[in-house]
Amino acid sequence: MILALAGGVGGARLARGLAAILPPDDLTIAVNTGDDFEHLGLLVCPDIDTVCYTLAGINNAAQGWGLAGESWAFMDALGKLGGESWFNLGDRDLATHVLRTGMIGRLALSEITALLAGRMGIAHRIVPMSDDRVRTMIDTDEGELPFQHYFVRRRAEPRFRAISFDGIETARPSTGLLDAIADPALEAVILCPSNPVLSITPILALPGVRTALAARGVPIVAVSPFIGGQAVKGPAAKIMGEIGLATTPPGLAAYYDGLLDGIVIDHVDAAADAGNTALHVTATLMRDLDDQRRLAAETIAFAQRLR
Amino acid sequence: MILALAGGVGGARLARGLAAILPPDDLTIAVNTGDDFEHLGLLVCPDIDTVCYTLAGINNAAQGWGLAGESWAFMDALGKLGGESWFNLGDRDLATHVLRTGMIGRLALSEITALLAGRMGIAHRIVPMSDDRVRTMIDTDEGELPFQHYFVRRRAEPRFRAISFDGIETARPSTGLLDAIADPALEAVILCPSNPVLSITPILALPGVRTALAARGVPIVAVSPFIGGQAVKGPAAKIMGEIGLATTPPGLAAYYDGLLDGIVIDHVDAAADAGNTALHVTATLMRDLDDQRRLAAETIAFAQRLR
């Protein structure tokens, strides 16, 4: 049994690789919900949707977010009516947000996610990190901004000063996440190549999660989202730089502060030394399902060698 | 100054004719909100939207409801996710519902309607009959159904037994409607060719409205929605039959029980006699804006002759 922690696009790609090689009962994908936000009265869960759409094979692979074959009539009409148009909601994507928003009082986010994932034909367990409301806030040189306002509306341009997770002190990890950690069959925890600060840290920051993972005694392996110091996608490298951490294997090991047993890194970074943290060198860029499968299989094999 | 009471498609067509010949300050269109409903978490106001879309010239004239050039990707995706698909929400139409739903706690429906109508380029006053929640309920041989469940989901097939308006006892007429009735410049009240039972009656049933209209001393003129006993569109004739009222000029006069000073009827019904209620015979079918203008002008002239 593998527990994967995932956030945005890179995380979803590795999660798809894991799902392609593991039976449904042998994988739990716990997804960051710090990026969730209320927009136009709708509850939008970008990371859950990216993981679901990617596993269902209905994602827009070229764009990196949203659905393949998406259309934008809603956004066009919204703009003409003077509505907020800085966050793109495709016509098809809207169905997910409207359905979820309609259920959120009656059902927990875990239940809604399982329901929608099932309707998308996904057999594997995708669980939100928590059913409680956690909202990532970014302190910047323009003041504190809710995550999507920082990330999308302001295109991550303001200088990042600090991150916090509103609601995290009282949020409980979801049952699905706790069950996976406690599962006697758990063999490894994989930190997907998502943004460490924005996507993985909220999951680890949930009360008890980091401690429980460290105490569990199974290998914890991260797949680095950096290749030659650069993020494959998104502002991870810029943010790591603004925090003062190096986007290198030792930088990543230091950021996770002793949690990791190993890191999967790209050939470009083969010369790196991360001290006590074992390294596995391979091609980490995932361009297609074959790349995703191969990287997932290598990561599992690497973790098993670390037991 | 003219006050027009309107509901669905026929009402919207005459309202457009009135708006085409009257300056914005000389017309108030008060619209039925009994058809409003909450669907998928969205507040949908079909009659307000039909009037707004028609006046803005962005309606789908052939279909009779919704927007021209509408697309249905949302509904397609919703269906694939197992969402309720009996009420069609077009991709563009959705922008109206999402924006309205996002504002409804902070602003009154009157304010939202004015805002959205303004953004559609409409200069004339379109006011909901009330800012309070009124919901038309239809008692049928299948039990009591909320209006849209009866009308759309069940296609008005159950036998109509009685109509009621949930919330009407405590609903206050909107300020816009009350202001129009009290306006010293008011010259006539026009009941548009909307369904009398479903669209006009809720407005008249608001506390004080019927009494205030009757006491106002200006001509009250209905444009008949029936031509040769048939409704131009929708189930009005079926419902009138199930109530036991004739879809004729005297039947309409009897239904409104002394409120009307005159009825505009079609040539087909020229032989009718409605007793004390004056009749104006013309072509009442509105196929285009020219028909709408002409019928609006004739109706105003007829009302002025009745002063």
Q: In what order do the strands lie in the sheet with A262-266?
A: A125-128, A27-31, A2-6, A188-191, A220-223, A262-266, A278-282
Residues of A in contact with B42 (CB under 8 A): 98
Q: For A108, phi and psi rounded to 5 degrees?
A: -75, 155
Q: pLDDT averaged over chain B?
A: 95
Contacts for A99 with CB less than 8 Å, ≥ 6 apart: A116, B40, B78, B81, B83
Under an 8 A CB cutoff, do A95 and B82 touch? no
Q: How confident is the model at residue A237 (pLDDT cuts 50, 70, 90)?
A: confident
- CA–CA separation, A221 vs A303, rounded Å? 6
Considering only the beta carbons, identify the residue of A81, A90, A102 that sits closest to B99: A81
Residue A242: per-residue pLDDT: 86
A90: nearest CA partner in chain B: B74
Do the beta carbons of residue A283 and residue A291 sit within 8 Å? yes
Question: Tens digit of pLDDT for each residue in A57-106?
Answer: 999 988 878 999 999 999 999 999 999 999 999 999 999 999 999 999 89
Pairing of strands A2-6, A188-191: parallel
Q: What is the pLDDT of residue B239?
A: 84
% of chain A exceeding 90 in pLDDT: 90
> A94, A116, A119: which to substitute to probe chain B, counting the most B Cβ within 10 Å?
A94
Q: Which residues of A touch B91 (CB under 8 A)?
A: 71, 73-74, 77, 91, 94
pLDDT of the residue at B44: 97
| Partner-chain contact A119 B94, CB within 8 Å | no
Q: Which residue of B has its CA nearest to A101?
A: B41
Q: What are A38's strand-pairing partners?
A: A43
- Contact list in B for residue A116 (CB cut-off 8 A) is 81
Pairing of strands B262-266, B220-223: parallel
CA distance A42 to chain B (A): 8
Taking CA atoms, A54 is separated from A64, A130, A236, in Å, by: 9, 21, 21
- CB-CB under 8 Å, B91 with A119: no
pLDDT of residue B61: 86
Q: Which tokens in the block code for residue A139?
A: 């302190």
CB contact under 8 A, B92 and A101: no
The CATH number covering residue A54 comes to 3.40.50.10680
- Chain A residues near residue B77 by CB distance under 8 angstroms: 67, 91-96
Structural domain of A38:
2-305
pLDDT at B233 over 80: no
Contact B93 A77 (CB under 8 A): yes
Q: How confident is the model at residue A253 (pLDDT cuts 50, 70, 90)?
A: very high
Going by C-alpha positions, the residue among B249, B304, B3, B295 that lies closest to residue B126 is B3
A80-106 residues labelled b (16+ CB within 10 A) or e (exposed): ebebeeebebbbbbbbbbbbbbbbbee
Tens-digit pLDDT profile for residues A93-144 = 999 999 999 999 899 999 999 999 999 999 999 999 999 999 999 999 999 9
ipTM above 0.85, yes or no: yes
pLDDT at residue B244, rounded to an integer: 80
pLDDT tens, position by position, A158-196: 999 999 999 999 999 999 999 999 999 999 999 999 999
Calculate mean pLDDT across residues B134-160.
Answer: 94
Residue A29 has pLDDT above 80, yes or no: yes
The β-bridge partners of A278 are A262
**In this predicted structure, what is the pLDDT of residue A235?**
81
The domain total for chain A is: 1
Beta bridge partners of A125: A28
Mean of pLDDT values over A290-300: 98
Q: Which residues, including other chains, have CB under 8 Å from residue B67's CB and lie 6 or more apart?
A: A77, B53, B58, B59, B60, B90, B92, B93
What is the pLDDT, as a whole number, of residue A241? 84
Chain A: residues touching B (Cβ < 8 Å):
40-42, 67, 70-71, 73-74, 76-78, 80-83, 90-96, 98-99, 101-102, 116, 119-120
Give the gap in angstroms from C-alpha A164 to the nearest C-alpha of chain B.
27
Report the pLDDT value the prediction gives residue B236, as an integer from 0 to 100. Answer: 79
Nearest to B96 by CA among A199, A80, A249, A57: A80
**pLDDT for A301 beyond 80:** yes
Across the interface, which of B41, B80, B120 has its CB nearest the CB of A98?
B41
Which residues of B touch chain A, with CB atoms under 8 Å apart? 40-42, 67, 70-71, 73-78, 80-83, 90-96, 98-99, 101-102, 116, 119-120
Q: What is the pLDDT of residue B138?
A: 95
Cβ-defined contact of A102 to B77 (cutoff 8 Å)? no
